[in-house]
Structure 1
């Protein structure tokens, strides 16, 4: 699929976005029966629930997993939405029954074609699917993808600063206040005019350097690749060699940073949910993701980036598209829950499983990681170093290597 030029004003494109999303839902509800949908309380899943309920082609079950964080207001917003849903059954699962991040990593036996960080949330993603299937659901719809198509990357402002300097500068000041970007790295990133290939070459030369500040990823070509301290020198040499070989053919996904970042985010998310889809089908209830249908992506990417991403309003495109479909009360939400508390609690509760992973590490057998460092880090689950997902990619590779073994339950390769 060739992405469209992002030139359409929001007011002109909103109806087309609504139509594309409605058609994506219709394809899934048209056969009738019962379908289930996530109803997190966020705008993405809420929009799909109202579109599905309005069509009346299938019985709708709206499914809500409350977060464990007392500050998480998703449940409140899910209840508000459910109160307006005609004929839908709202199921609220007990928060304490929600599996935590890192649960059941030692028992993952899905045969996957590549490592994926989705295994970290595998237990959480699959937990309610057998229950929904028992209630009659033949398909489960998620709001995944809304963050990637209805919103877009702030990196578009690298180009907009050159083409619309006054309005871009004002919005960049707003983003700086919103995300606490320091001036120095922000200005250096905005002044950086390197091509994608030159940027990647520079990143390949700095694999052992400290992680770049978040603003470099937000406004640049992406987060420069970095190696964690527990990656061995042998693995670092292999990574540098692979990047050097890739440089000859390296091409951005789009003509500028913003369009490259948007497409990269979509591709990256699809790699995760492709594996979740394989897992969910095996669990007895297939999942589907209307926001990631081609026509929905095309409609959203056709909109001007300054109309999709702004520091003053969250997801203005989806709000405009859903006006008259989703109650105004639900469109007024300005908060967004995040699951850092659940992840931290999962690390504390399942630290022993991680220690067992490192005790007989397949990555270590290959000479790729220092397990002493990993054991020390995961033995301190409250360490500030673990507040972000620094372990995810390493764990994903370790778990994947184990699933390749015949004893993991998959076919021998």
Structure 2
């Protein structure tokens, strides 16, 4: 799935998509086109196609589906796109973390695939300026923009939902297949389930690998995956990046020294792979990354030299294991003050301001938060700043670069969503503020991770993130956001789950590598080229951004002044992605 599309075509179009290597799976009354190897199961009443990694027995899942148990589609445990064809209907679903998309175009005919741009090309869709305004203006309002795409008329299934197609009527609708239980303030059960899920996630991948490679950055997430891989494989080629000024390699060496089957390879990042050196995003299905495209391409080439099988990464661990500062709204009394004081000391802010922000958030419904943000987008020229601003449903929007039309459009879409939904649309079913907010961060991370996987697929590398497997996600959400996040310990849920498995030098590390200086160096080095992107660019052509405002921000960044790096990367990523695409047909 990472590099190719799986297709579900209606009866009126049974020709192969453009390109070579397509295989037709004739599943009774339906035809499915796919390219890369897939797994299949057939039982009386159901035919199942699985594209991706499954932990559970797919034939057993097919039997449950044949018996009418639609929720079985969400219990494969790994990360996959799944198509179930029954006598009278079909179900198509992705994963819980948002890595595996199900994209749908309904007009002029039904086309379903796992890449939005490929689906758009099949039906001749053009860009959707409204989605672009919302995605760039309110990037953390994930629930609002998730079900759309850069292309008009191309929808995306929400994680935990499946596309349901009736054979007789031809009707197409969304059906919820995953209902997660409310998270609990207890790490014991969640830790046990997480340990088992991670062991299975890594072990099943290692079992099928001819030669196993893994990232070992020195951080806790990659160290956990590498340590588990070392228990399943006699030889693990572990790779770590050498970036000037970043201390992660010291921790990576310490971890590797304690794992006899791990061979550590330290690779210095060359100039051509530095931030913003490579601005070609034409191979990506969606916009999203800019600064690190060159680094990921270079990294994939290094992996390819060592590998030949799946490459395990620690990406996704942050989103699965911790929560945004909105988790403070779930705390009260002395516990709330203690956590606020801890974060305040780390970031040099007032603990009282954090406590007040958490109190306000507890009393702000999701719908009201959307309405407040819509008002701010239209009437305020600067984003809310400081640590207390992060104690919110979805942070603050990026309005300083939006055109007046884009501001009005984003605000209208936020209000419309608020009028339609009192709560976020998640498998948690009206959970606490902090748990819903953490879920939105998770699926945004997953949708971004699929783009990194696509970059690696250009070089034949199968990038695998066990942290985003369904079973791992389920285990993490057994514990509440407030239970698994604290300023006093890095990832307490993982520490409980992996005690005795991961070397203590990684498990009890309290710092993370900071790559900010590298990003600013790239902005300075490529300042002229970046500013040129925003002179008569594609985003301005769509009416979405104020190019002068973007150029001014780039100039500040080049001078070393602080800017919102993540948001700026998203705008640059959107522009270079658009420049690599035609305005129609997804090409």
TM-score with structure 2 setting the length: 0.64
2:420 partner SS: coil
Distance (whole Å) between structure 2 residues aligned to residue 405 and residue 226 of structure 1:
26
The match for 1:154 is 325
1:360 match: secondary structure: coil
CA distance in 2 between counterparts of 1:221 and 1:412 reads 33
Rounded Cα–Cα distance in structure 2 between residues aligned with 1:288 and 1:404: 27
SS at match of 2:393: coil
CA distance in 1, matches of 2:436, 2:486: 18
Q: Do residues 126 (structure 1) and 303 (structure 2) align?
A: no
- Comparing 2-11 with 120-129, which one deviates more in the overlay? 2-11
- 1:105-116 aligned at under 5 Å gives the runs 105=279, 107-112=280-285, 114-116=286-288
Using the TM superposition, give the Cα deviation of residue 304 of structure 1 relative to its aligned residue in structure 2, in angstroms. 4.1
**What does residue 358 of structure 1 align with?**
534
- Kept in 1, the 8 Å contact 2:341–2:351? The answer is no
Aligned to 1:190: 358
> How far, CA to CA, are the matches of 1:258 and 1:283 in structure 2?
39
Higher helix share: 1
Counterparts of 1:320-399 in structure 2, within 5 Å, are: 320-380=496-556, 381-386=558-563, 388-399=565-576
CA–CA distance in structure 2, aligned partners of residues 156 and 399 of structure 1: 35
Compared with structure 1, are the counterparts of its residues 304 and 369 closer, same or farther at alpha carbon in structure 2 (3 Å cutoff)? Answer: closer
Where 1:89 maps in the other structure, the secondary structure is strand
- Which one is further off, 338-347 or 88-97? 88-97
Deviates more, 1:139-148 or 1:210-219: 210-219
1:355-407 C-alpha deviation (Å, 9 max, x unpaired)? 2212331122233333233334324402424363342222122122212228x
Bigger strand share:
2
1:206 maps to 376
1:36–1:63 contact (8 Å) kept in structure 2 = yes
Partner-residue secondary structure (3-state), 1:386: coil
- Label 1:341 to 1:111 Cα distance change in 2 as closer, same or farther (>3 A): closer
How far does residue 333 in structure 1 lie from its aligned partner after superposition?
1.6
Structure 2 residues not aligned, in runs of 5+: 1-177
Is the counterpart of residue 296 in structure 1 residue 472 in structure 2?
Answer: yes
Deviation digits for residues 330-350 of structure 1 (CA, Å, limit 9, x no counterpart)? 323211111101101110111
SS at match of 1:92: strand
Q: Which residue of 2 aligns with 1:224?
A: 396
The number of residues matched between the two structures is 400
- For 1:85, the equivalent position in structure 2 comes to 259
Match of 1:181 in 2: 349
Tell me if 1:266 matches 2:437.
Answer: no
Q: Report what 1:53 is aligned to.
A: 230
Question: Cα offset for 1:329?
Answer: 2.8
Q: Is the 8 A contact 1:140 1:286 kept in 2?
A: yes
SS at match of 2:566: coil
Secondary structure, counterpart of 2:370 in structure 1: helix
1:136 deviation in Å? 3.1
Whole-Å separation in 1 of the counterparts to 2:206 and 2:271 = 29
Determine the C-alpha separation between the residues in 2 that align with 1:377 and 1:311: 32
Moved more, 239-248 or 142-151: 239-248
Q: For residues 144-165 of structure 1, give each alpha carbon's deviation from its aligned partner in whole angstroms, at most 9, with x where no partner exists.
A: 121122222332331322xxx2
CA contact (8 A) 1:65 1:98 kept: no
Do the aligned partners of 1:204 and 1:225 also contact (CA within 8 Å) in 2? no
* Structure ID, larger Rg: 2
Residues 275-297 of structure 1: CA deviation (Å, up to 9, x unaligned):
22122112221211001111111
Q: Report the CA distance shift for 1:390/1:299 in structure 2 as closer, same or farther (over 3 A).
A: closer
Whole-angstrom distance in 2 between the partners of 1:379 and 1:8: 46
**d(CA) in 2 for partners of 1:197 and 1:315?**
30
- The correspondence for 2:461, drawn from 265, 285, 289, is 285
TM-score, structure 1 normalization: 0.89
Residues 176 and 74 of structure 1: is their aligned pair in 2 closer, same or farther, counting only changes over 3 Å?
A: same
Q: 1:85 to 1:197 in 2, by over 3 A?
A: same
User: Equivalent residue of 1:64, what SS?
Assistant: strand
The answer for unaligned runs of 5 or more in structure 1 is none
* Partner SS, residue 36 of structure 1: strand
Give the alignment's Cα RMSD to 1 decimal. 2.3
Question: Is the alpha carbon distance of 1:332 and 1:400 closer, same or farther for their aligned partners in structure 2, counting shifts above 3 Å?
Answer: same
SS of 1:283's equivalent?
coil
Q: Work out which of the residue numbers 95, 99, 109 in structure 1 matches 2:273.
A: 99
* CA offset digits 1:259-288 (Å, max 9, x no partner): 012101111101111122122112221211
- Higher mean alpha-carbon deviation, 43-52 vs 92-101, is at 92-101
Q: Judge which range, 292-301 or 303-312, deviates more.
A: 303-312
User: Residue 325 of structure 2 contacts residue 390 of structure 2 at CA under 8 Å; is this kept in 1?
Assistant: yes
Per-residue CA distance 1:77-106 (angstroms, 9 max, x = gap):
00011111222221110244572222211x
